[in-house]
Structure 1
Amino acid sequence: MKQHLIAIDLDGTTLNNQSKLTPTTIKTLQTLSRQGHLVSIVTGRPYLISGHLYDQIGLKTPMINFNGALGHIPHRKWAGEYAVNVTREMTLDLLAHKQELGIKMVIAEDKYHVWADHPSSDLPEFLPAKLAPEQILNEHNLNNDPIALTIQFDPAKKDAILNAVDQKYGDFVEPRVWGGPYSIMELIRRGTHKEAGLRHLVKEYQLSPDQIIAFGDEHNDAEMLSYAGRGVAMKNAVDDIKQIADDVTPVDNDHDGLAKYLQDYFHLDAAKLQLAE
């Protein structure tokens, strides 16, 4: 059987609408791993809020976080590990000018750490609701260059913030505004996308893009789906992603759409896998 790299986004793709993995999804991904395929999470999430999902599936393969800015194998040293950082200087500069720019919150993160200027109860899964003293974002606690920044902003000031970032740091960083109702943008190193993580894995494992089947639902999945030999959009994906994908799942993420697509594609015994429910 031809080995595949199965690249899976998390939110809106592998996870259901309660941000959970279903037993059918776990069993399907474990079965494919045992068959010799490389199942790799490729997510915009930091490792700190996605590592438990990696462990729940029981993966041993590389994981890509921060939309391609971090590649690693959790719980072990890996010669292929990499991180693409932004700068401490930029982080502290945005923090110093947050009021005039209309920024409500600044979060800086690396593989094992998160710093923020204050806690937030708005999005407890993504924004820190509690902070220890050493996690307060300031020049004393932030000693190194973080991997990514997350900014919560006044929606009326979005264009002003984007313009300010572009004028001062546009050659270095690239903003991505979250979809949905949230006024949040991420800043990572310009040119760093999920595709970059896949290219790294292809090189490390001596694969080719036509061995990749990648799943996604949002704009930050565009480069990954375009690069993969088979890019699959979820039924619940935004229209732009469906248009660039090679295929669309018949079922959405809240009804095991990814698992059922993989069962059909790899001719797995769906009845046995769904007994896990």
Structure 2
Amino acid sequence: MDQHLIAIDLDGTTLNNQSKLTAETINTLRIAAKKGHIVSIITGRPYRIAQHIYDQIGIKTPMVNFNGALTHIPHENWDKEYEIELTKELALDLLVHKAELGIETITVESKERFWANQATEDVPEFLPNKLRPEQSLSKKNLSDDPIAMTIEYTPGSKDRIIKAVNEKYGEFVEPRVWGGPYHILELIHRGTHKESGMFYIAKQYGIDRTHIIAFGDEKNDLEMIDAAGRGVAMNNAIPEIKSIADDVTPLDNEHNGLARYLQDYLELI
């Protein structure tokens, strides 16, 4: 069978509801890689909370973090790596105006580092629940231009924050609202979505769009699923994703839906 790019979202897709990989999923992805397919994680997660999953699967192919703003090969100096950055000015501006905007926590991330105005217990793993002194967000500590910012806001503040960001930084910043029960906004470079990282990887390996198969479940997967040659919504995906997908997995992420679909579609087992 022709070489495919297998673009996989993590949460709600490759991972079960405990944010874990099953043995079947690991085994299936390893077999796919062994057969010459390019398995690439394409996630909204920062690298710091996606690296262990990459290592567990045991792949050596490029990975996309921050919904397309970072594409790299972990543990390697890949000459085709890229980052699409925001500015320190934006982070420090939000920090100064956080009270009037209704911002509780600002987490600012580069590839290897992060800073925040405070630790929070609200979204375990995703937002830092403890900070070292040098990770406290300040003009003095913020050494890198950030790739992404995550803003936890008080209920009812979302529109006020989006308006403020758009008025001053709208030409290069795109606010995106998280799915699920959280009051969280993500700021990344305007026009940066998962599909840009997906196509960039496909180009490096000479893989045609028709041989890209992409899996996802949430709003931030929309562009990727829509653009892939075969966009596959998880059984547990939101209706918006199912409506634009080419197919839907018969099983959900709690029952190895992605692994079983790949086994059948690529005749892996």
Q: Give the shorter-chain TM-score range.
A: over 0.9
| TM-score, normalised relative to structure 2 | 0.99
Alpha-carbon distance in structure 2 between the residues aligned to 1:22 and 1:115:
32
Alpha-carbon distance in structure 2 between the residues aligned to 1:138 and 1:5:
41
Q: Which amino acid aligns with 1:22?
A: T
C-alpha displacement of 1:47: 0.3
Q: Does 1:256 align with 2:256?
A: yes
Alpha-carbon distance in structure 2 between the residues aligned to 1:44 and 1:3:
25
Alpha-carbon distance in structure 1 between the residues aligned to 2:199 and 2:260:
26
Counterpart residue number, 2:62: 62
Counterpart residue number, 1:138: 138
Alpha-carbon distance in structure 2 between the residues aligned to 1:125 and 1:193:
22
C-alpha displacement of 1:91: 0.6
Counterpart residue number, 1:272: none
Counterpart residue number, 2:51: 51
Counterpart residue number, 1:274: none
SS at match of 1:142: coil
Counterpart residue number, 2:28: 28
C-alpha displacement of 1:268: 2.7
Q: 45-54 or 124-133, which moves further after superposition?
A: 124-133
Listed one character per residue, the Cα deviations across residues 29-79 of structure 1 (whole Å, up to 9, x for unaligned) are 000000000000000000000000000000100000000000000001111
Q: Which amino acid aligns with 2:29?
A: L
SS at match of 1:40: strand
Counterpart residue number, 1:231: 231
What's the C-alpha RMSD, in Å, of the aligned pairs?
Answer: 0.7
Counterpart residue number, 1:189: 189
Alpha-carbon distance in structure 2 between the residues aligned to 1:260 and 1:227:
22
Alpha-carbon distance in structure 1 between the residues aligned to 2:263 and 2:104:
44
C-alpha displacement of 1:206: 1.6
Alpha-carbon distance in structure 2 between the residues aligned to 1:64 and 1:243:
24
- Unaligned runs of 5+ residues in structure 2 are none
Listed one character per residue, the Cα deviations across residues 98-146 of structure 1 (whole Å, up to 9, x for unaligned) are 0000000100001100100011111121010111111000000002210
Counterpart residue number, 2:2: 2
SS at match of 1:17: coil
Alpha-carbon distance in structure 1 between the residues aligned to 2:239 and 2:180:
14
Q: Map of 1:5-154 to 2, 5 A cutoff? A: 5-154=5-154
SS at match of 2:186: strand
- Unaligned runs of 5+ residues in structure 1 are 270-277
| TM-score, normalised relative to structure 1 | 0.96
Alpha-carbon distance in structure 1 between the residues aligned to 2:208 and 2:265:
19
Counterpart residue number, 1:220: 220
Q: Which amino acid aligns with 2:136?
A: I
C-alpha displacement of 1:156: 0.9
Alpha-carbon distance in structure 1 between the residues aligned to 2:268 and 2:73:
27
Q: Which amino acid aligns with 1:75?
A: H
SS at match of 2:156: helix
Counterpart residue number, 1:171: 171
Q: Which amino acid aligns with 2:202?
A: V
